[in-house]
Amino acid sequence: MTDQDLELLITVVVAADDDRQARDACRELVAHTGGRIVASGDCSDEEPGCWAVTVSVVSAERADYHTAAALARAVRQFVRSLRPEFPVPPVSCEPPTAWTVLDDPELIDEWVPGAERLLVEAWAGGDPHERGAPPAEPEPEPEPAAQPTPTPANATGPDGEPVRLWLRVDVVADHTAGAEWQARAVASRIVQSGAIQGVTARDGVLSVQVDLGTSRQGGERALRTAVSSLGRTGWSPIRSDNGVSSIGWTAETRPSSGITALELRAVPEQGAGAPAAPGSGVPPGPAPARG
């Protein structure tokens, strides 16, 4: 994929007993879209007896000129592909993403038996699951876009210190489930699966803390790799405070709905859980369990 290509992420909340059953329920949707399952997880804490399965699809739309319009069209075209006469719900757009939620049981069950609803997202900037993207900030020498993983990686970066990566996603949303969906979508661009550690509300914004796992690249390099996977511009310089490295992004204007800010933190593995961002109102997350 190129920077002009758009990717669709379809997250299905489906009633299932386990991961295999949830994935099997999405088989017809995957075949219809020509996509692939890139993530799945138990979301029974928010939706009892349910699993969330995310399918990645390359959209026929391209962001050649007007990215926002192309993103919205990609979402609408996907909805119409499910059933042409189905009325498309409102599409929210905050480049580089646009999204909508389908909660019509009759339509959804036609493609995924037992599904509760679908979150349909379009993303610009190339396939987040291919790691060939260039760094977001200029570097003296090119660096491999290695992916931080939930378990320690074998390769050791130049800094050589294992760090825990944490992601905070601030979302203007009415419901926790909607904010968590968007946080999972952002996290999936960095790692295959991230563990949500908590959600707090402040001034109409839901802040979702996500544990992205361990990286052995060292703090600053791990952050640059994660930022390159997200593909956004306008990130702050990397800051360092008491061994914790961080970098942030904030929307120029606060949207009526959607993502309004992001923060990535690299915490020394010997440290505790995720530290709160200054002024974010987000308490530290629990320390990850150690095997």
| 174, 244: one domain | yes
Q: Which residue among 70, 97, 124 closes a domain?
A: 124
CA-wise closest residue to 67 among 123, 121, 119: 123
178 in Cβ contact with 101 (< 8 Å): yes
Segment 242-271 mean pLDDT: 86
Q: What is the pLDDT of residue 160?
A: 58
Q: pLDDT-derived band of residue 150, with 50, 70 and 90 as boundaries?
A: very low
For the chain, what is the mean pLDDT?
A: 77
Tokens of 46: 């928010």
Q: What is the pLDDT of residue 20?
A: 94
Sheet holding 244-250, edge to edge: 195-202, 205-215, 163-172, 258-268, 244-250, 239-241
Q: What is the pLDDT of residue 248?
A: 94
Residues 6+ apart with CB under 8 A from 177: 13, 46, 47
Q: Which residue among 124, 152, 187 closes a domain?
A: 124
| 14, 120: one domain | yes
Cα distances from 278 to residues 163, 191, 246, in angstroms, run 20, 25, 11
> What's the total number of domains in the chain?
2
- Whether residue 211 is contained in a domain is answered as yes
DSSP string for residues in the chain: --TTEEEEEEEEEEE-SSHHHHHHHTHHHHHHHT-EEEEEEE-TTTSTTEEEEEEEEEEEEE-SS-HHHHHHHHHHHHHHHH-TTSPPPP-EEETTEEEEEE--HHHHHHHSTTEEEEEEEEEESS-TTS--PPPSS--SS----PPPBSS--SS--SS---EEEEEEEEEE-SSHHHHHHHHHHHHTTTSS--EEEEEEEETTEEEEEEEEEEESS-HHHHHHHHHHHH--S-PPPPEEETTEEEEEEE-SS--SSEEEEEEEEEEETTS-SPPPPTTT-PPPPPPPP--
Residue 17 is part of a domain; what is its CATH number? 3.30.70
**How far apart (Å, rounded) are the C-alpha atoms in residues 49 and 43?**
8
- Whether residue 290 is contained in a domain is answered as no
**How far apart (Å, rounded) are the C-alpha atoms in residues 7 and 53?**
16
- Whether residue 149 is contained in a domain is answered as no
Q: What is the reported pTM?
A: 0.54
* Burial class (CB within 10 angstroms; exposed 0-12, middle 13-18, buried 19+) of 65: exposed
| 119, 170: one domain | no
pLDDT over 90 (residue 216): no
Cα distances from 217 to residues 88, 220, 236, 245, 268, in angstroms, run 44, 8, 20, 13, 11
Q: pLDDT-derived band of residue 25, with 50, 70 and 90 as boundaries?
A: very high
Segment 15-25 mean pLDDT: 94
**How far apart (Å, rounded) are the C-alpha atoms in residues 111 and 134?**
37
* Residue % of the chain over a pLDDT of 70: 76
- Whether residue 137 is contained in a domain is answered as no
pLDDT over 80 (residue 81): yes
- Whether residue 46 is contained in a domain is answered as yes
- Whether residue 67 is contained in a domain is answered as yes
* Residue % of the chain over a pLDDT of 90: 29
Q: pLDDT-derived band of residue 273, with 50, 70 and 90 as boundaries?
A: low
Q: Who wins on pLDDT, 97 or 49?
A: 49
- Whether residue 95 is contained in a domain is answered as yes
CA-wise closest residue to 102 among 84, 114, 113, 86: 86
Q: Which residue among 73, 107, 124 closes a domain?
A: 124
Segment 277-286 mean pLDDT: 38
Which residues span the domain enclosing 237? Answer: 163-268
| 169, 119: one domain | no
Half-sphere exposure of 32 (CA within 13 A, CB side): 16
